[in-house]
């Protein structure tokens, strides 16, 4: 069956070996057939600068277009200093403009935070839940997912080897697929 919904997965870490990227890729593999996950890193998004709004750089326009064409947006993020990484906030700022015309508008949102530590990046997720409502569609409330102890969850090839983590990620992505389907119907 061809995928029904195209989901932009925004990866909140630029690190080559980022757990966040590995989690995004693992979610792609776990997703049901109804979803196609487009794993998107933020290396190419230049700094937001209001001075450039009249003639936005090409990278902003391309990112906004990708969001607009999507059927949903899934944020996968680590936590930096009890919040989201600056690159992710920058991308959200870029996508949120021009004022009143956010490219996230109407997109059903999922949030997956993670940490090698024991709190699962919950503060980063809460931060997103605080800043997104004015510029996106609905944020999935349940289930929530804060992935803890991700440091030993992958083998050298990037395969997810921690079974309990795989189980909750599968539950999450299935629930998100149903949420996207319900919203787009």
* Chain contacts with ligand FNR (rule: CB under 6 A): 13, 15, 18-20, 78-82, 115-117, 119, 121
Q: Which is nearer to ligand FNR, 123 or 136 (CB)?
A: 123
User: In the complex with ligand FNR, which residue's Cβ is closer, 70 or 113?
Assistant: 113
Q: Whose Cβ is closer to ligand FNR: residue 133's or residue 151's? A: 151
Least distance CB 58 / ligand FNR (angstroms): 27
Shortest Å distance, C-beta 93 to ligand FNR: 19
In the complex, minimum distance from the CB of residue 12 to ligand FNR, in angstroms, rounded to a whole number = 7
Least distance between ligand FNR and beta carbon 134 (Å): 24
CB contact set of 97 (below 8 Å; sequence gap of 6+): 48, 53
Which H/E stretch holds residue 7?
Answer: strand 5-11
User: Residue 151 class from Cβ within 10 Å (0-12 exposed, 13-18 middle, 19+ buried)?
Assistant: exposed
- H or E, element range at 53: none
Q: Single out the residue of 93, 82, 175 nearest to residue 120, CA to CA.
A: 82
């Amino acid at each position: 069956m061809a995928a029904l919904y195209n989901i932009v997965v925004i990866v909140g870490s630029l690190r080559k070996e980022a757990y966040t990227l590995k989690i995004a890729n693992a979610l792609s593999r776990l997703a049901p057939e109804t979803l196609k996950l487009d794993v998107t890193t933020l290396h190419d998004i230049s700094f937001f600068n209001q001075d450039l709004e009249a003639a936005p750089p090409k990278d902003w326009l391309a990112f906004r277009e990708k969001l607009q064409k999507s059927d949903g947006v899934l944020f996968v993020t680590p936590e930096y200093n009890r919040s989201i990484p600056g690159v992710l906030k920058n991308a959200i700022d870029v996508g949120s403009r021009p004022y009143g015309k956010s490219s996230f508008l109407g997109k059903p949102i999922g949030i997956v935070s993670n940490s090698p530590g024991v709190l699962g990046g919950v503060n980063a997720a809460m931060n997103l839940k605080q800043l997104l409502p004015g510029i996106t569609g609905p944020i999935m409330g349940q289930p929530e997912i804060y992935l803890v102890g991700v440091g030993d969850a992958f083998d050298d090839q990037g395969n997810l080897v921690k079974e309990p983590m795989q189980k909750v990620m599968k539950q999450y992505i299935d629930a998100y697929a149903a949420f996207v389907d319900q919203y787009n119907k």
